[in-house]
Structure 1
């Protein structure tokens, strides 16, 4: 049976074989379109698998790396800040410890001066700080921060560290210069306390580098003076008040004249390290 198609008032008859042919062509076209679409989708998927997916993986890897670097930088910055804070704390503690050590040192020196003040309580004294010294390690002369405005005058005796340092040789309104007993031109009339024998203690340019002073003109026929005996300023000294400790006999030698002895004295004062001294506020009276 053939399909009938009306056309106007007439009837149009389509043979069955043509209809079958048309339907076959139509199905074939649909199959081709479907196949081509599948191929296209496969191509797209293949392209995505080849390029897009690795790119996504790369982006993910880079993002992860950047995040890791950023986290590491943040950690490093935090550690640097913490390290800086710790360094500052160490500096603060170091400064605090230095201050405490300085306070302890000054307290020790003040105690020594206080003890010395009591030791020579018969004399009026004022404390002074050393503000300048000659070149070298040893204090053979130096300047203090007290002067004529404080009543300090030339030839006043200066003590520290348990004994005699020297005497004032020059003075201004707020300063004074001290020549110590280890200076090359220094000379002190002294007495060996245990034997009541007199001698002359003199500074020596070579010896003061060893912290020593020389003595001479010791008359000791009975050999009463021995190493370790205490030496003090004598009553016959023209510049120094009597009874101030100078030091201790360290060596004794017989002079070539066989009448006197000479040697060395180890001063009680450490002339390598001094910061503060006491000035005895009175002069030796002539004939005293």
Structure 2
């Protein structure tokens, strides 16, 4: 039964195919002959019969043309979007590179200004290239070493203040121990002229981002907001480099001394470029000017000789 139904369907398909071929040939012959002779009256009937086929063919052609044009537009728009996305990505990368270069230039310009201002120091610029994995918060690695004149115990600074000192100096890289390291010890003094209280700044294990100033006498003149600078004691750090500000004060466990919690002058989380002090020359003191002397009480030999000569020339 199924074979018979299949044969019937096949025969119907063949019939329709033959009719389609005949109609197509007729249309082709008609359109070819149309331009060569005048169609008789009987051909008008054929035109009337073939008109629906012509309209169908025309509609199919227009649809095919429309679909082809739409596909081409889609392909073109897709390619244009791809090109625009690539251009946007390139511009984004260029913008990021330009912003990074601008920020780096600004940092280096600031460091250069600091080096030109601090004439008592010879300094070498360096870039932070890593942190010691064992002591992440207290030791950094810079891209300068012995070939650049960098050696152990040299002071490391930025334009804002003290960073630390060279812990190990390799040939082209060095390790820097930050003042945040509990193993570090920096001799410091209160910058305020009325105070000048000395102490030691070292890192705190319980608060690794804020060092402590210890060994402060209980009755010492130290208040919150005081600027703490290096004292120059010990020989490692030159005198007068800013360490930080006193954030708070508290008594130590014994009750005889005070501890000052410091806010570092340097933001160690954003540390990218530093300066290594390779040579330090303390600024020469200003010459002492003697006080004005009243006549007859001169202690300067030159002044006394001048007074004696004046007395000889004008005897009374």
1:227 corresponding residue in structure 2: 224
Distance 1:179 1:212 in 2: 15
Please tell me the root mean square deviation across aligned C-alpha atoms, in Å: 2.8
Pair 1:62–1:201, CA change in 2 (3 A): same
Q: Radius of gyration: which is bigger?
A: 1
Distance 1:83 1:135 in 2: 45
Aligned match for 1:165, one of 163, 166, 175: 163
1:1-288 to 2 correspondence within 5 Å? 49=49, 52-135=50-133, 139-194=137-192, 195-208=195-208, 211-219=209-217, 221-222=219-220, 224-282=221-279
Pair 1:193–1:47, CA change in 2 (3 A): closer
Task: List per-residue Cα deviations over 1:265-287 (Å, max 9, x = no partner).
Answer: 011111001111100003799xx
Distance 2:105 2:47 in 1: 88
Distance 2:177 2:128 in 1: 12
Distance 1:47 1:56 in 2: 9
Deviation at 1:137, TM superposition (A): 11
Task: List per-residue Cα deviations over 1:205-231 (Å, max 9, x = no partner).
Answer: 3312xx311221112525x21111110
Say whether the 8 Å CA contact 1:112–1:162 is kept in structure 2.
Answer: no
Say whether the 8 Å CA contact 2:138–2:180 is kept in structure 1.
Answer: yes
Task: List per-residue Cα deviations over 1:128-178 (Å, max 9, x = no partner).
Answer: 111221349965211111111111110000001411100111111111111
Distance 1:256 1:67 in 2: 92
Structure 2: segments with no counterpart, 5+ residues: 1-40, 283-316
Say whether the 8 Å CA contact 2:121–2:280 is kept in structure 1.
Answer: no
Structure 1: segments with no counterpart, 5+ residues: 1-40
Distance 2:233 2:188 in 1: 8
- Richer in strand (by share): 1
Distance 1:267 1:120 in 2: 20
Pair 1:220–1:124, CA change in 2 (3 A): farther
The TM-score normalised by the length of structure 1 is: 0.75
Task: List per-residue Cα deviations over 1:30-67 (Å, max 9, x = no partner).
Answer: xxxxxxxxxxx98x958973xx4443333222211111
